[in-house]
Amino acid sequence: MAEVRFKGRVVLLLVVVLLVFSGIGFRLSVLHLQPAEWVLQPIEEGRMYESKTMGSRGRIVDRNGEILAMDLAAYHVYVDPRYISRYGNADEVSKYLAEEFRIPEAEIAEKLSNTNSQYVRIKKYVPGHQLKRFSRRAYGVDYTPALPVDGVETNIYLRGVGLEEAPIRNYPKGPLMAHVVGFANQEGVGSAGVEMRMDEYLRGEEGLRVAKKDGRRREIYSTRIVDIEPSDGATVMLTLDQQLQYMVEKTVEKTCREFNAKAAWAIVQHVRTGEILAMASFPTYDLNRYSKAPPEWRRNRAISFNYEPGSTMKAAVVAAALDNNVVDEDDIFDCENGYWVYGGKALRDSHGEGEITVAEIIKVSSNIGTAKIALEMGNEMVYNSLRKFHFGDRLNVGIPGEEGGIFYSPKNWSKISITRIAMGHEIGVTALQVVSMMSAIAYNGVQMQPMLIKKIISSDGEVIEEMEPTELGRPLSPNAARRMQKMLSAVTEEGGTGTKAAVEGYTVAGKTGTAQKIRPAAEGGGYYSKNFTSSFVGFLPVENPEIAIIVVADDPGEYTDTGRKIKYFGGTVCGPAFKEIAEFAVRYLRIAPEGNRIYVARPEE
């Protein structure tokens, strides 16, 4: 009886085993012969190989094609701790990577100890030229130590070490044109200057490759189903000229240091096209180390610094008076021997004059004379005339950070405002606005749109966009502009305030500016008595103007033993800098004394 029960149990067990294995067999046949979608999907996803590669960021070049910004080959050095623990040598990896990159060996060893990880960066953004001792190979790199091993130079196979492409932005010229070019951050996003404004053109387009991978995570080329190549970004060509820019930057730095100014800046503009040939600001910084520079050094003062221009504004006011037939060059005004009270407030001239003509008012830069001319014009005419020059507006030069200045309407003026605005107070401007105004006078009353971007060229050489010279407006009639040109040329002649800006062999027109700086309300308001913004703006040759130049210095000057401030006037500080820039420019751009332009955009030679 017991034997029968035993045999029955054996049979039952066999039946159960057969049923289990039959079920497994059936299930396996279903999964392998006719697998459902939900079965296949995770398998296929696990075998899928996907690679995304970003195209290089486009270049920025000057008007002659000199490279100012470009992508440089660089790599992230990483390790695969899991792979190294199974197939590599953690001690060797720690030792040699520590030696090469000057990282504590213990730090690398600690990263390798996490054997659950398959990707740990050891060093980010290493330039390609610093990795000459590394060469890629399957599942690692070949490394040639700097010192021979056992007296023999050899390659060491470091399993589990990889090099991941990670281009970095490089600026071959360092600080040259820093405030215009700007910089891109480590993520490749433009964050200042042209890099920021033209980011959509400069950015490369991402490529995509989709295929299947084998058991070692390598792509199976025959299974590739998507293969979209990355596209490099476009090249942006500037209107700036590298050689002229270099000279202007050095001159601005020299002026700043020589006259103890807090900062200085300058612009060179082509009168007939509006192209900016040079734009410099000091202090400056190295674009390759932008994160180390104080924010104030990164500020492009040529377009972002609002200041009261002082006497340079007289050129616009008197030109408008001529244009509106309010005065003629030979009309006489009493300049009150340098002291005049109007609206209960005194107005002074640095050099007292009696009765002088309008032309002489410009030549000697009389505040009183200009104020009286402005009163003849009236509030509305003065305001509307200056607005025609676009004071109070951004000129949209093409890079971020441009200010529009400060210019209130007459309803906000006091009784004396018109007399102060005429001499460059109670109005805030940028250097770009002032040089644009002077260029309009030089170009017979036509104001051109300032330009910093010349053209955009695709990675395959096709011109995507080319900027054409654009007229911004006509604030003056040709007759009034030509008369003003002649009057301004007397400023650099004997007896004028800008003799130090004269260029031998050329006729130079211009205007000096020296304005007291505004005292903040927290300090009591009004104006500082010994802090000034000094400037000189002009153009040449007067017979046929080609270029306009402005130089501005923030709070220059020296103090004598008695506490008196000297060497701060615009003609003294910025006149010589204007001259130095102009002398180089006419030679470099080959501008003849009579103004016959050979070329401004230097051709290939």
Q: What is the CATH number of the domain that holds 224?
A: 3.90.1310.10
- In the prediction, which pLDDT does 232 show? 86
Judged by average pLDDT, the poorest of 40-49, 187-196, 282-291, 512-521 is 40-49
pTM attached to this predicted model:
0.85
Mean pLDDT of the 38-52 span? 59
Is 17 a member of any domain? no
The whole-number average pLDDT for the span 286-301 is 94
Between 604 and 193, the more confident residue is 193
Residues 192 and 224 in one domain: yes
Give residue 521's pLDDT.
Answer: 85
Per-residue pLDDT, 604: 42
Nearest CA among 290, 265, 296 for reference residue 278: 265
* Mean pLDDT to the nearest integer, 112-121: 90
Same-domain pairing of 201 and 280: no
Asked if 464 and 569 sit in the same domain, the reply is yes
Residues 190 and 280 in one domain: no
Mean pLDDT, range 3-31, rounded to an integer: 73
Peptide linkage before 283 cis (omega within 30 of 0): yes
Biggest CA–CA distance in the chain, Å, is 147
pLDDT at 299 over 90: yes
DSSP state of 232: P
Residues 191 and 255 in one domain: no
In whole angstroms, give the CA distance from residue 433 to residue 389.
8
Indicate whether 246 and 223 sit together in one domain: no
Residues 234 and 320 in one domain: no
Q: Would you say residue 121 lies in a domain?
A: no
pLDDT tens sequence across 331-375: 999 999 999 999 999 999 988 899 999 999 999 999 999 999 999
Residue 149 phi/psi, 5-degree rounding, is: -100, 120
pLDDT (mean) for 192-219? 78
Angstrom distance (rounded) from CA 143 to CA 145: 6
pLDDT at 323 over 70: yes
Residue 24 lies in a domain: no
- Which CATH number goes with the domain that contains 389? 3.40.710.10
- Residue range 378-382: mean pLDDT, rounded: 97
User: Is 60 exceeded by the pLDDT of residue 44?
Assistant: no
Separation between Cα atoms, residue 465 and residue 458, nearest integer Å:
9
Do the domain assignments include residue 25?
no
Mark which of 166, 194, 223 sits at the end of a domain.
Answer: 166
120, 114 contact by CB (below 8 A): yes
Per-residue pLDDT band at 41 (split at 50, 70, 90):
low
Inform me whether the pLDDT recorded for 605 exceeds 60: no
Residue pLDDT, tens place only, 550-570: 999 999 999 988 888 999 999
Q: Is the pLDDT of residue 312 over 80?
A: yes
* Predicted pLDDT at 36: 60
Res. 382: pLDDT tops 90:
yes
User: Residue 552's beta-bridge partner residues?
Assistant: 265, 535
Q: Is residue 30 assigned to a domain?
A: no
Q: What is the 3-class SS of 466-506, one letter each residue?
A: ECCCCEEECCCCHHHHHHHHHHHHHHHCCCCCCHHHCCCCC
pLDDT band at 24 (very low <50, low <70, confident <90, very high): confident
Which of 10-24, 498-512, 581-595 comes out lowest in average pLDDT? 10-24
Average pLDDT, the chain: 89
- Of the chain, the percentage scoring pLDDT greater than 90 comes to 67
Do 138 and 277 reside in the same domain of the chain? no
DSSP3 helix / strand / coil % (the chain, rounded to 5): 35, 25, 35
* For range 158-177, the mean pLDDT: 91
Asked if the model's pLDDT at residue 580 lies above 90, the reply is: yes
Give mean pLDDT, residues 163-174.
Answer: 90
List pLDDT tens digits, range 73-108.
Answer: 888 999 999 999 988 888 999 999 998 899 999 999
| Residues 292-313 as b or e (16 or more Cβ within 10 Å = b) | ebeeebbbbbbbbbebbbbbbb
Amino acid identity, position 193: G
Both 437 and 527 in one domain: the answer is: yes
Query: Residue 599: pLDDT above 60?
Result: no
> Which tokens sit at 545?
């103007």
318 vs 56: which has the higher pLDDT: 318
Tell which wins on pLDDT, 75 or 537.
537
Confirm whether 268 is domain-assigned: yes
Q: Is 167 exposed, middle or buried (0-12, 13-18, 19+ CB in 10 A)?
A: buried
Residues 213 and 255 in one domain: no
Last residue of a domain, one of 238, 259, 277: 238
Q: How many domains does the chain have?
A: 3
User: What residue numbers bound the domain in which 189 lies?
Assistant: 48-72+171-238
What is residue 290's predicted lDDT score, i.e. its pLDDT?
A: 94
User: Is 224 in the same domain as 357?
Assistant: no
> Does 19 reside within a domain?
no
Kindly state whether residues 208 and 354 are assigned to the same domain: no
Mention every residue, 6+ apart, whose C-beta is less than 8 A from residue 16: none
pLDDT value at residue 42: 64
Q: Which of 40-44, 63-67, 333-337, 374-378 has the lowest mean pLDDT?
A: 40-44
What token pair was written down for 131? 């990795």
Please check whether residue 183 lies inside any domain of the structure.
Answer: yes
Instruction: Grade residue 13 by pLDDT with cuts at 50, 70 and 90.
Output: confident
The pLDDT value recorded for residue 47 is: 62
Q: What is the pLDDT of residue 602?
A: 44
Of the ranges 16-25, 259-268, 504-513, which one carries the lowest mean pLDDT score?
16-25
